[in-house]
Amino acid sequence: MAEITLAVLGDPSEPTLKRLSELGPGIRIKAGRSAEELLPELAEAQVLFNWFGGKEQVEAIMAAAPRLEWIHARYAGLDRLLFPALIESPIPLTNGTGVFSQSLGEFVILGALYFAKLVPRMNQSKAARHWDMFDVNEISKQTMGIIGHGDIGRAAAWRAKALGMRVLALRRNPAPRPGDEHVDRVYATADLHTMLPECDYVVVTAPLTPETNHMISTAEFAAMKSSTVVMNVGRGPVIDEVALVTALQSGQIRGAAIDVFEVEPLPQESPLWTMENVLISFHTADHTKDWLDDAATFFIDQFARWRKGEPLKNLVDKKAGY
């Protein structure tokens, strides 16, 4: 059997990459932080595992790798990777969709409970040693609307449904599919403004594409109830952050729980830092102790499928962007 050359765009000292030794015999592995570091092995490379590189490096690798048969991205979001040559190329692209979804689903439930049980007020009263008796909400009597009912959205939906919530979902194609058993109603994208007034929590899990950029902006916040909490565990620019700040400051919406932002790290001058009605995570809601190991495990399983000629999981529709 001919030797297979695997190019890994990533730091060769990354401990997790040592797990690639589990791929089996007959694999030549070359890791490098750039296309330049991967030369001259790229001439024979059949697989590219993009551990962390952006579109410029991947484009340079593709240009130098005429035998490339498959590209796998460690992460789920592809807005920083896709470029015209890759989109038009017949080379299949897969990603890490599903690997990190469960932890993000848990963050969504954290956000719901954080506001329903008035955790900020609890902490303030504790700090003041003030015996503060007040009413809280039961999330089992509330509605969660999920914008972008993909893998992350489904992870949030089944957790919300398990806690007795009414769950709504919005996606491009509202036709029935697996996962809908945890949803009370599915809306088409065009019906966004019909769904929003029903929601106590609006959870954004949509990928970033030209169509979803600033999908949630001034008009969408105006369509929400003043008691609505907005959460973003998808991609930062899907929410217009300026409009979000305005909606929070004016009381147009109740609060926000945010893991991803338009600019990362979040600039020091952002008003979000000091808002009491905002829960901030630092694009780390999926950073469990095993998150990198899980990403490596998924690739190793994918590689075994590719080597056997079996269908790959998570094939990306490159023109759609996810």
Residues designated as active site: 235, 264, 283
Tokens 């809306």, located at residue: 187
Cis, bond preceding 265 (omega within 30 deg of 0)? yes
- Could you say which DSSP state residue 310 is in? P
Name all contacts of 248-253 with Cβ < 8 Å and 24+ positions apart: 248/272, 248/275, 248/277, 248/278, 249/275, 251/226, 252/221, 252/222, 252/224, 252/226, 253/221, 253/224, 253/225, 253/226, 253/228, 253/229
- Could you say which DSSP state residue 216 is in? B
Bin 254: left if φ > 0, else alpha if -120 < ψ < 50, else beta: alpha
Q: Count CB neighbours of 72 within 10 A.
A: 25
Q: Count CB neighbours of 307 within 10 A.
A: 15
- Beta strands 4-9 and 278-280 are unpaired
Q: What is d(CA 21, CA 173) in angstroms, rounded to the nearest whole number?
A: 41
**Closest Cα partner for 7 from 283, 263, 276, 303?**
303
Q: What is d(CA 14, CA 31) in angstroms, rounded to the nearest whole number?
A: 10
Q: What is d(CA 250, CA 131) in angstroms, rounded to the nearest whole number?
A: 29
Residue 176 CB burial class (10 angstroms; 0-12, 13-18, ≥19)? exposed
